[in-house]
Amino acid sequence: DAVFAVLDSSVEIEAFVTDGDRVSAGEVFARVDGPAEVLLAAERTALNLLQHLSGIATLTRAFVEAVAGTRAQIVDTRKTLPGLRMLQKYAVVVGGGRNHRFGLDDGILIKDNHIALAGSVRTAVERARKYAGHMHKIEVEVSNMDDLREALEARADIILLDNMSPEMVREAVRVVRERAPEVLVEASGGITLENVRAYAEAGVDFISIGALTHSAPAADISMKLTTL
């Protein structure tokens, strides 16, 4: 609506579906009434946004369906386009996924560069907890079993298993459940529609996928004009 309203507030839009509904090929799901010159001027921008966001929702739905029946929830990342983060993350939710952080202030995620600067996983967690206070959960990204054990010893709240194989993830989950069953486990890195089920069946709580927002194929949507 906003794209057309910028050019002409008198343009009327009637939607035949709601966000999250499935749309079949060839199905007409909206009608736009207004001056032809306005519709043509807004067409490309409106379609670009609609195709992109619908593509995100569609890809997210595919991942959600691929892990159905497991405990795993599909979440996005901050790998979004400048200026479009809110819309892209909304599209993920429409597709059945969940949002990870919107920004750095939403939660503490200690990654490899933070660990490198701090000198160790334990030091990074201790420093973060010192400044964060008791209201913030601390998530630690690990890529091997040694760092995983150190993160658990440092009492991290969430463990992010980065670029591990499904087999490694399964073993990591076993260690977490035995040592700290209250800790949540997230998997990320190299996860596709072809292998996401294996990661979900490894027992993780969350699977974060950057491709949802940075690589989703655009949906094939067009606007056809008719005269009244």
Return per-residue pLDDT of the chain as tens, 228 residues.
889 999 999 999 999 999 999 999 999 999 999 999 999 999 999 999 999 999 999 999 999 999 999 999 999 999 999 999 999 999 999 999 999 988 887 889 999 999 999 999 999 999 999 888 777 899 999 999 999 999 999 999 999 999 999 999 999 999 999 999 999 999 999 999 999 999 999 999 999 999 999 999 999 999 999 987
* pLDDT computed for residue 1 by the predictor: 82
The candidate with the shortest Cα–Cα distance to 53, out of 24, 100, 20, is: 20
* pLDDT computed for residue 170 by the predictor: 98
Spatial distance between the Cα atoms of 76 and 207, rounded to a whole number of angstroms: 8
* pLDDT computed for residue 134 by the predictor: 76
* pLDDT computed for residue 180 by the predictor: 97
Q: Check if 170 is active-site.
A: no
Q: Check if 79 is active-site.
A: yes
* pLDDT computed for residue 4 by the predictor: 93
Write down the catalytic residue from 31, 37, 44, 71: 44
Write down the catalytic residue from 139, 147, 157, 162: 162
Token readout for 72 is: 């795993």
Q: Check if 112 is active-site.
A: no
The structural architecture, per CATH, of the domain 1-228 is Alpha-Beta Barrel (3.20)
Write down the catalytic residue from 79, 98, 129, 149: 79
Q: Check if 141 is active-site.
A: yes
Q: Where are the domains of the chain?
A: 1-228
* pLDDT computed for residue 106 by the predictor: 81
Q: Report the run of H or E that residue 153 belongs to, with start and end.
A: helix 145-153
One-letter amino acid identity for 56?
Answer: I
* pLDDT computed for residue 222 by the predictor: 96
* pLDDT computed for residue 135 by the predictor: 76
Residue 67 · residue 196 · CB < 8 Å: yes
Q: Check if 111 is active-site.
A: yes
Spatial distance between the Cα atoms of 76 and 70, rounded to a whole number of angstroms: 18
Neighbours of 55 (CB within 10 A): 21
Neighbours of 223 (CB within 10 A): 14
